[in-house]
Amino acid sequence: MRRRNAKRLFNVAGCILIGIWLVLLALLVRDEAMESRAETPAVRSKPELRAEARREWMEIYVAEKKVGYAVTRVSPAGEGYAVTEETFLKLNLLGRPSALRTTLQALVDSDFRLRRFRFAMVSGAVRYHLRGRVSKGTLYLEQGEGGKGAVRKLKLDVPPMIGAGLGPYLEERGLRVGDEMSLPLFDPSTLSRNSMRVRVVGRERIRIHRIDYDAFRLEARMWGRTMTLWVDEKGSILKQEGLMGMTLVRSSAANAPRGITSGGDDFYDLAAVGMDVRLNRPDRLSFLKLRLGGVDLESLDRSVLGSGRQRLEGGVLEVRREKVTHRASYVLPYKDVSGAMKSYLGPELNVESDHPSILHKAREILSGTKDPVRAVRKLNQWVYRNLEKRPVVSVPSAVEVLKTLVGDCNEHATLLTALLRAAGVPARICLGLVGTRGKFYYHAWVEAYLDGWVSVDPTLGQIPADASHIKLAQGGIARQMDILAFMGKLKLEVLDYKYD
């Protein structure tokens, strides 16, 4: 029993959604991205470019432990600015130090509206590359080193900005107590587009590394939370406080890389939700009833939390493990006559179901299988057995996962989703919580459409997934932003449960 639970803990705990903390980091390093519809920033008349370049270093802390640093460079380039941002992080994941480096290179105009960018993320053998350009209201994205991947398009309501290096913008705009601003931001690491709403609430004197600064204090409200940052007269960030104990403070080129440690609390445990009743065999759970607390129930997406195998009434959630049909009513590939399954059958960024390597692997695994039930089982088992289960700090791409065959739940879910779609089975990624060893950990799995949506967990090799899987959101990495509404706030009270 203990050995089985330890294995499940490793498989599950290695599956905290990497997009979650990438968002947290993005909100801090790249300023605070606010919820609301994007709005066009205030137009400035004939903005003047700063003649000199500026560079800013920040130290990154989680739960008061220094885990990394960031450096941002902004320099004039033509009629705009060249922006470069580099981050380094070292986190304790299941007792193992995991390092991550990201690099963002962007060209923006004088109003900091994005023209084009390159983004790279490296963690061990795992590499992720994305480049993009804005043209005529459309953001064109290419994944892969050297821009070798397929081009994906995102329609834009307004010209986007990036938060990196907004200091010159804030300096020229000027800050006054009582000011409010709204800036439409795009974050390359999460593909999220949000409006940044910030209010200048006062002036304060703040001490950083034994040095006192006169600062503006800015507050930002997002997903029912308030985050705070302090900036000087030049718009340079002095300190920022975000979620899950993540804080950034001003530093220097000499001090920022020093004293970084991956010790202290495990990052997965920091995000886990406590369990008041110990569920000894969560893998055998067929029914789970919980009371939700700590979050605004009115803000919950009931179309996700209260659909399929889940029922939500008031603040009580019931999860029932579904039954898998022996034979579906269709043969592969699924004929989407109504178009309702279009988004679950086609490729998307990072889920490259149309890539030759994904198509070839799906055909190889299925060997001509036309029965969707058998296909789902075979593909799920192949991913479960062939991917080395190891915590990975990166943005998953199905093509890259197929090359490395290494990853945690995000990699498992992304690859299986791509293989299922390549085989003609509608599939989507699910995001939420799964229970083990007295806690609920953030996790990702898959839903495949047979004669209804069925939960499939390639990390644990389950179909259907056990009832400790609590779905909070669904979709790709941009949808992981939705989980921020629950992080560090959600409380779960177990009311009832049943085993097989």
The DSSP line for 440-478 is EEEEEEEEEESSSEEEEBTTTTBSSPPTT-EEEEESSGG
Distance CA 165, CA 204 (A): 22
Q: State the pTM of this model.
A: 0.80
Is pLDDT at 38 greater than 50 in this prediction?
Answer: no
Burial 462-483 (b: 16+ CB within 10 A, else e): bbbbbbbbbbbbbbbbbbbbbb
Distance CA 20, CA 223 (A): 13
Q: What is the pLDDT of residues 44-86, one digit of tens each?
A: 444 555 667 889 999 988 878 898 999 999 999 988 899 999 9
**In 10 A of CB 52, how many CB atoms?**
8
Is pLDDT at 223 greater than 70 in this prediction?
Answer: no
Domain with CATH 3.10.620.30 in the chain: 272-499
Q: Which of 134-138, 378-382, 414-418 has the lowest mean pLDDT?
A: 134-138
Secondary structure (3-state) at 69: strand
Q: What does the pLDDT average to over 449-478?
A: 92
CA angle 478, 362, 418 (to 5 degrees): 5
User: Could you tell me which residue, 241 or 290, shows the higher pLDDT?
Assistant: 290
Q: Which of 106-110, 204-208, 299-303, 481-485 has the lowest mean pLDDT?
A: 481-485
Is pLDDT at 252 greater than 70 in this prediction?
Answer: yes
Instruction: Select the highest-mean-pLDDT range: 51-60, 112-121, 364-373, 475-484.
Output: 364-373
Angle, helices 356-366/409-423, rounded to nearest 10 degrees: 80
Q: What is the pLDDT of residues 148-179, one digit of tens each?
A: 667 888 888 888 887 776 777 777 778 899 99
Is pLDDT at 405 greater than 90 in this prediction?
Answer: yes
Distance CA 203, CA 207 (A): 13
Residue 439 has φ and ψ, to the nearest 5°, of -145, 160
Is pLDDT at 224 greater than 70 in this prediction?
Answer: no
Is pLDDT at 42 greater than 50 in this prediction?
Answer: no
pLDDT of res. 153: 84
Residue from 497, 464, 432 nearest 279 by CA: 497
Residues near 450 by Cβ (< 8 Å), separated by ≥ 6? 324, 325, 328, 372, 373, 376
pLDDT of res. 295: 85
pLDDT of res. 20: 44
E strand or H helix that includes residue 12: helix 2-13
Arithmetic mean of pLDDT over the chain = 83
CA atoms within 13 A on the CB side of 168: 27
Q: Does domain 272-499 have CATH number 3.10.620.30?
A: yes
Q: How confident is the model at residue 30 (pLDDT cuts 50, 70, 90)?
A: very low
Q: What is the pLDDT of residues 383-392, one digit of tens each?
A: 999 999 887 7
pLDDT of res. 65: 85
If you search the block for the tokens 């445990």, which residue do you land on?
Answer: 269
**In 10 A of CB 440, how many CB atoms?**
25
